[in-house]
């Protein structure tokens, strides 16, 4: 459709039809056989009147070629102007193939990995009818208590967030949204949602504009510059005003400064929630606040549906804003080609051949392997010698539930258990005992009751627990190595899963303690969605492989790594805390006036734990041993428009081939505002053959030295800089240079 025709269409629309476009509801109501149930059920809860249903603009989380076709068809048959619906879905870590959760994907430090996962997700979901994906989530996350860190693609680092955001948006959207396999990206959540106080979900955020621009904004900005079609607001208050109705954020920053022209959608019910926040006095005011701020679509509340019309009648300016929003929505439908073909890229035939196809599953397995992080490997106990007798213990050994909390659409028919995968390779050299449940029932009941589900009582749970441990100990006595598969419950991570205790569940710790008494080598495969507190168990373990929630191909991917057929290469994107009291802990912090040093009491530290994180940002081992030497700068002074070339020698001192993520950090030693102790500025993931030596090169430019000063200018200031290169943010080689003005 030409732009002129869209304007003509807009002119034909009644005010009700326009407002309908700005409302999004869960689309399953169209799928119900019993239409009465539909109109009395969800719509009643949302206080929507029946006519509104056939003028709404988009639906949430309906997917599958058959379903989407059915809903679109029925909707169009009843809609006066035949404006097709938009189908928006949460394909957070894949559709039918579940990929590793986003925090894990980020740990690959490999753009190719991120891109290929996004490509398959987009193709799978677009042929199944998705037009828009509520992804990527690029909220910078420093606090492991926050359950949603599992969704954060860049973890605690703004540069990773920036790079990954661009990669994912460009991959989802391609050059043209009508191309097969392309979907629009809805980037979330604007803004600073990851900074919720005390890591409690939906909580308050208060931060200086400088801090916001320096750390939190870059990833959203990068997504906008990459052409993201949509943004989603966040649930938090930002500096006193809920983000969803924050005019400064949406109008000044997002629209004016960053030039965002696409659609802004509220998060689920967030416009209505501005009342509970104590900002909007009632529904009408909530609608007014949101439309004035610039929110185009009200997700899952009836605020726009019920109050926008009245506001338009009272105020022409609001009607103008409604017209602008509807124009944006119609324009996206047009870009997706839905006016010509309301069924978009839906393709039942391709669905049959492409979804879960074996070559994608094989690819997924390889990609998944790059997301694992080897946290510890004492005496190179991994990879496991295949001749050893293994006791395989833990609730994740014989469990296909390893796809994480957003994998509701994934096809579990191809999920394997670790037990299957190991037995396939090693036959009967493995003895299995569950050893413990993931959680005690009391913990599960807390989750069930929060979901309104009935609680379960288990008779003699304590005794059963002891019996499970006893049989694990028994089989371990006869083994050479104890291989543990433990971790969080997937329902302990994700939205509304903030936790003040981020250690492994108590019953699993008890299992470790009992097995430790056998003095046998113990290896832990760790399933989780956040950095965990490992301080009480780490010493008892010889090796720890962090596998997050690895998705459909996870079990096979892990098996190959543990057996040494593949080599781990992931690096952490979030620091692991010593214990929960240290949260938030992150590598790019500022110095205090009293940095920690020994033998002096009045310094900035904890009395009971070290100041440093337990495992730092950027950290991750390999079966290779990489030795960094000979850091060399081609000059030690730089002026405007110049670059410094940094070179480092890296030697793979092992018989294994593998990847290493070489990281370059810079510190601006003195600034007009204080600067962090280190900031990641560049990285390269390099492949090394056994015993290969490589010289890895980076260029430092003045752009890398820029920051937001106290006048909110983005500047590089002359002075001293330190440069660090290493395989993580702590173990680095160091040199310095000076930036001089010409
Ligand atoms: C989440 C969003 C998600 C939306 C739709 C909300 O509760 O915060 O990230 O996209 O629901 O499912």
pLDDT tens column, 637-648: 999 999 999 999
Ligand 1 pocket member 134 (CB < 6 A): yes
Q: How much is the pLDDT for 51?
A: 75
E strands of 464-534, at which residues?
Answer: 481-487, 522-527
Averaged over 158-186, what is the pLDDT?
97
For residue 293, the number of C-alpha atoms closer than 13 Å in the C-beta half-sphere is 29
Task: Tell how far the Cα of 367 is from the centroid of ligand 1, in angstroms.
Answer: 26
Task: Tell how far the Cα of 514 is from the centroid of ligand 1, in angstroms.
Answer: 41
Q: Flag whether pLDDT at 251 surpasses 60.
A: yes
pLDDT tens column, 302-343: 999 999 999 999 999 999 999 999 999 999 999 999 999 999
CA distances from 595 to 331, 590, 602, 639, 673 (A): 54, 10, 10, 31, 17
Q: Residue 110: what are its φ and ψ, rounded to 5°?
A: -135, 110
pLDDT tens column, 697-740: 999 999 999 999 999 999 999 999 999 999 999 999 999 999 99
Task: Tell how far the Cα of 135 is from the centroid of ligand 1, in angstroms.
Answer: 10
Residue with tokens 């290169």: 725
Q: How much is the pLDDT for 44?
A: 64
Task: Tell how far the Cα of 235 is from the centroid of ligand 1, in angstroms.
Answer: 10
Task: Tell how far the Cα of 372 is from the centroid of ligand 1, in angstroms.
Answer: 26
SS3 of residue 94 by DSSP: strand
Q: Which helix (H) or strand (E) holds 409?
A: none
Mutual orientation of helices 158-173 and 217-225 as an angle, nearest 10°? 30
Task: Tell how far the Cα of 406 is from the centroid of ligand 1, in angstroms.
Answer: 10
Higher pLDDT residue, 681 or 43?
681
Question: Which region among 109-113, 275-279, 445-449 has the lowest average model confidence (pLDDT)?
Answer: 445-449
Ligand 1 pocket member 90 (CB < 6 A): yes
Q: Residue 372: what are its φ and ψ, rounded to 5°?
A: -80, 145
Ligand 1 pocket member 556 (CB < 6 A): no
> Are 269 and 302 spatial neighbours (Cβ–Cβ below 8 Å)?
no
pLDDT range class, residue 524, cuts 50, 70, 90: very high
Asked whether the bond before 383 is cis by omega within 30 degrees of 0, the reply is yes
Q: Considering only CA atoms, which residue is closest to atom 2 of ligand 1?
A: 267
Distance CA 421, CA 538 (A): 26
Ligand 1 pocket member 612 (CB < 6 A): no
Question: If we measure between CA atoms, which residue out of 171, 290, 169, 278 comes closest to residue 221?
Answer: 169
pLDDT tens column, 118-143: 999 999 999 999 999 999 999 999 99
Q: Considering only CA atoms, which residue is closest to atom 12 of ligand 1?
A: 90
For residue 561, the number of C-alpha atoms closer than 13 Å in the C-beta half-sphere is 36
Task: Tell how far the Cα of 685 is from the centroid of ligand 1, in angstroms.
Answer: 33
pTM of the model: 0.97
Q: Considering only CA atoms, which residue is closest to atom 11 of ligand 1?
A: 268
Asked whether the bond before 502 is cis by omega within 30 degrees of 0, the reply is no
Name the residue of 28, 60, 268, 299 whose CB sits within 8 Å of the most ligand 1 atoms, as the mutation to test its pocket: 268
Q: Which helix (H) or strand (E) holds 50?
A: helix 50-53
Q: Considering only CA atoms, which residue is closest to atom 7 of ligand 1?
A: 268
Per cent of the chain over pLDDT 70 is: 98
Ligand 1 pocket member 272 (CB < 6 A): no
Q: Average per-residue pLDDT in the chain? A: 96
Task: Tell how far the Cα of 647 is from the centroid of ligand 1, in angstroms.
Answer: 44
Instruction: Using the atom order of ligand 1, give the atom closest to the CA of residue 234.
Output: 8
Q: Considering only CA atoms, which residue is closest to atom 8 of ligand 1?
A: 267
The DSSP code for 255 is: I
> Are 504 and 546 spatial neighbours (Cβ–Cβ below 8 Å)?
no
Q: How much is the pLDDT for 597?
A: 76
> Are 333 and 325 spatial neighbours (Cβ–Cβ below 8 Å)?
no
Q: Which of 90, 143, 157, 267 is catalytic?
A: 267
pLDDT range class, residue 595, cuts 50, 70, 90: confident
Q: How much is the pLDDT for 102?
A: 98
Instruction: Using the atom order of ligand 1, give the atom closest to the CA of residue 137.
Output: 9
710 is catalytic: no
| Sheet bearing 390-393, strands edge to edge | 373-377, 543-546, 522-527, 481-487, 390-393, 430-433
Q: How much is the pLDDT for 614?
A: 98
Give just the sign of the alpha carbon dihedral 271, 277, 283, 286. Answer: negative
Q: Flag whether pLDDT at 34 surpasses 90.
A: no
Ligand 1 pocket member 156 (CB < 6 A): no
Question: If we measure between CA atoms, which residue out of 498, 462, 488, 480 comes closest to residue 392?
Answer: 480
Name the residue of 59, 86, 90 whose CB sits within 8 Å of the most ligand 1 atoms, as the mutation to test its pocket: 90
> Are 661 and 685 spatial neighbours (Cβ–Cβ below 8 Å)?
yes
Q: Flag whether pLDDT at 367 surpasses 90.
A: yes
Which are the contacts of 553, defined by CB distance < 8 A and separation ≥ 6? 97, 361, 364, 365, 368, 414
State the maximum Cα–Cα separation within the chain, in Å, rounded to a whole number. 80
Question: If we measure between CA atoms, which residue out of 169, 10, 242 comes closest to residue 250?
Answer: 242
Q: Considering only CA atoms, which residue is closest to atom 6 of ligand 1?
A: 268
Ligand 1 pocket member 656 (CB < 6 A): no
What dihedral angle (degrees, nearest 10) is formed by the CA atoms of 189, 45, 53, 281? -60
Name the residue of 151, 273, 495, 498 whose CB sits within 8 Å of the most ligand 1 atoms, as the mutation to test its pocket: 495
Q: Flag whether pLDDT at 42 surpasses 60.
A: no
Ligand 1 pocket member 151 (CB < 6 A): no
Task: Tell how far the Cα of 105 is from the centroid of ligand 1, in angstroms.
Answer: 20
Which are the contacts of 695, defined by CB distance < 8 A and separation ≥ 6? 647, 648, 649, 650
SS3 of residue 334 by DSSP: helix
Residues in the chain, total: 742
Ligand 1 pocket member 267 (CB < 6 A): yes
Q: Flag whether pLDDT at 41 surpasses 70.
A: no
Distance CA 171, CA 117 (A): 9
Distance CA 691, CA 624 (A): 9
Distance CA 56, CA 46 (A): 13
Question: If we measure between CA atoms, which residue out of 436, 383, 439, 392 comes closest to residue 418?
Answer: 392
């Amino acid at each position: 459709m030409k732009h002129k025709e869209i304007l003509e269409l807009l002119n034909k629309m009644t005010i009700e039809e326009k407002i309908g476009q700005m409302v999004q509801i869960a689309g399953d109501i169209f799928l119900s056989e019993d239409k009465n149930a539909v109109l009395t059920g969800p719509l009643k809860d949302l206080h929507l009147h029946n006519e509104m249903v056939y003028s709404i603009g988009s639906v949430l989380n309906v997917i599958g070629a058959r379903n989407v076709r059915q809903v679109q068809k029925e909707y169009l048959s009843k809609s006066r102007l035949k404006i097709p619906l938009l189908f928006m879905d949460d394909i957070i870590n894949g559709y039918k193939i579940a990929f590793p959760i986003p925090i894990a994907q980020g740990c690959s430090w490999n753009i190719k990995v991120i891109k290929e996962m996004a490509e398959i997700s987009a193709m799978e979901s677009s042929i199944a009818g998705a037009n828009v994906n509520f992804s990527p989530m690029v909220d910078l996350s420093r606090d492991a208590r926050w359950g949603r860190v599992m969704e954060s693609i860049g973890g605690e680092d703004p540069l990773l967030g920036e790079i990954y955001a661009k990669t994912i948006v460009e991959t989802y959207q391609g050059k043209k949204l009508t191309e097969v396999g392309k979907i629009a990206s809805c980037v979330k959540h604007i803004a600073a949602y990851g900074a919720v106080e005390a890591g409690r979900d939906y909580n308050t955020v208060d931060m200086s504009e400088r801090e916001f621009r320096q750390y939190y904004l870059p990833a959203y900005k990068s997504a906008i510059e990459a052409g993201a079609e949509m943004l989603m607001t966040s649930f938090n208050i930002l500096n006193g005003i809920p983000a969803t109705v924050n005019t400064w954020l949406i109008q000044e920053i997002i629209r004016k400064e960053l030039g965002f022209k696409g659609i802004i959608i509220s998060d689920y019910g967030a416009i209505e929630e501005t009342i509970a926040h104590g900002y909007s006095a009632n529904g009408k005011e909530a609608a007014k606040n949101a439309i004035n701020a610039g929110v185009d679509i009200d997700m899952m509340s009836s605020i726009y549906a019920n109050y926008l019309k009245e506001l338009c009648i009272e105020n022409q300016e609001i009607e103008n804003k409604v017209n602008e929003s509807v124009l944006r929505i119609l324009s996206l439908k047009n870009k997706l080609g839905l006016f010509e073909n309301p069924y978009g890229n839906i393709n039942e035939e391709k669905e049959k051949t492409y979804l879960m196809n074996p070559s994608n599953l094989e690819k997924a397995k390889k990609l998944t392997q790059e997301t694992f992080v080897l946290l510890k490997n004492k005496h190179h106990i991994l990879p496991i010698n295949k001749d050893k007798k293994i006791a395989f213990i833990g609730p994740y050994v014989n469990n296909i539930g390893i796809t994480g909390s957003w994998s509701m659409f994934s096809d579990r028919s191809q999920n394997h258990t670790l037990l299957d995968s190991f037995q396939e390779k090693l036959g009967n050299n493995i003895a299995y005992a569950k050893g413990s449940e993931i959680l005690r029932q009391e913990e599960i009941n807390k989750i069930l009751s929060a979901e309104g589900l009935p609680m379960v009582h288990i008779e003699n749970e304590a005794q059963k627990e002891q019996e499970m441990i006893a049989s694990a100990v028994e089989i371990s006595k006869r083994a050479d190595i104890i291989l543990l598969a433990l971790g969080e419950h997937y329902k302990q991570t994700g939205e509304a899963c903030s936790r003040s205790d981020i250690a492994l569940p108590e019953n699993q710790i008890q299992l470790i303690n009992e097995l430790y008494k056998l003095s046998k080598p113990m290896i832990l495969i760790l399933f989780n969605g956040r950095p965990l507190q490992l301080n009480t168990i780490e010493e008892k373990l010889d090796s720890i492989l962090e596998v997050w929630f690895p998705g459909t191909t996870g079990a096979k991917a892990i098996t190959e790594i543990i057996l040494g057929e593949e080599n781990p290469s992931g690096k952490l994107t979030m620091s692991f805390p010593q214990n929960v009291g240290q949260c938030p802990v992150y590598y790019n912090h500022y110095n205090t006036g009293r940095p920690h040093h020994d033998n002096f009491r009045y310094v900035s530290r904890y009395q009971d734990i070290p100041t440093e994180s337990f495992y730092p940002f950027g950290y991750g081992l390999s079966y290779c041993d990489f030795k960094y030497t000979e850091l060399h700068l081609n000059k030690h002074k730089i002026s405007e428009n110049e670059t410094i070339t940094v070179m480092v020698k890296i030697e793979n001192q092992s018989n294994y081939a593998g990847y290493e993520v070489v990281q370059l950090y810079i510190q601006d030693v003195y600034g007009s505002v204080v600067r962090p102790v280190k900031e990641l500025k560049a990285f390269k993931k390099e492949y090394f053959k056994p015993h290969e030596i490589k010289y890895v090169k980076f260029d430092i430019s003045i752009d890398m030295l820029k920051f937001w000063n106290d006048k909110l200018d983005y500047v590089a200031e002359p002075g001293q800089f330190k440069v660090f290169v290493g395989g993580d943010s702590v173990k680095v080689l160091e040199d310095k240079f000076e930036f001089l003005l010409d």
